[in-house]
Amino acid sequence: MIIQISNWIIPLLILTILLYGTYKKVPTYEKFVEGGKEGVSIAVSLLPFLLGMVVSISIFRASGAMDAFVGFLSPLLQLLHVPSEIVPLALTRPISGTASLGVVTDLIKNEGPDSFIGKLASVMQGSTDTTLYVLTVYFGAVGIKRMGDALKVGLLADLIGIIASLMICYAVFG
């Protein structure tokens, strides 16, 4: 059921936007091209971030250090029903969005996009945001020096996002 809805959401959203835009007399094609140009520059500017992180993770994995690390943690994680492969993602997600995108890529590539880990990584990456980045950008720009509880709240929210992703993935794909 949820899988069906997932397949419908995107075509329906596209249809709504296109028809509503036409109804509102938006120059649809021109605006599409204008917005799309931003996409090109985003993808290009992502390249160094992704490349750096992907190479670093690949070294860690190829050396066998990743397996050793995961094996070391697995008894504890088994107790909590957390697949150990997901740990690197859960740890990098709050710190850096591009870094965690590198981790997601690595997991999807090596475990397969349709494996449980691949789906879990996809949901986790999509449902949380990079707390430290948001905090730095928003508070930095307006000169807030005392953050109050913001960091604690942000990190706890990430933890909830991670737990929620786990539970939902077990319920839907488990």
Partner 1 sequence: MVNLIWVGLAAIGIIYSFFNGTVEEVNEVIFTSADEAVFLCISLVSILVFWLGLMKIAEEAGLLEKLAHFFKPIFKVVFPDIPPNHPAMGYILSNFSANIFGLGNAATPLGLKAMKEMKKLNGDRPEASRSMITFLALNTSSVTLIPTTVLAIRMKYESVAPTEIVAPTIIATMISTIGALLIDRYFYYRRTRGVMM
Of these, 12, 33, 73, 76, which contacts partner 1 (CB under 8 A)? 33
Q: Answer yes or no: are the C-beta atoms of 127 and 165 closer than 8 Å.
A: yes
Distance from C-alpha of 33 to C-alpha of 1, rounded to nearest angstrom: 35
Residues 64-123 close enough to bind partner 1 by CB under 8 A: 64-65, 68, 92, 94-96, 99, 101, 104-105, 108-109, 112-114, 118-119, 122-123
Residues 133-162 close enough to bind partner 1 by CB under 8 A: 134-135, 137-139, 141-150, 152-154, 156-158, 160-161
Of these, 12, 14, 73, 76, which contacts partner 1 (CB under 8 A)? 14
Using N-to-C axis directions, what is the helix angle for 28-62 and 65-80, rounded to 10°? 100
Burial label, 122 (beta-carbon count in 10 A; 0-12, 13-18, 19+): middle
Distance from C-alpha of 165 to C-alpha of 127, rounded to nearest angstrom: 8
Q: Shortest gap between Cβ of 73 and partner 1 (angstroms)?
A: 15
Of these, 12, 51, 73, 76, which contacts partner 1 (CB under 8 A)? 51
Q: Shortest gap between Cβ of 120 and partner 1 (angstroms)?
A: 9
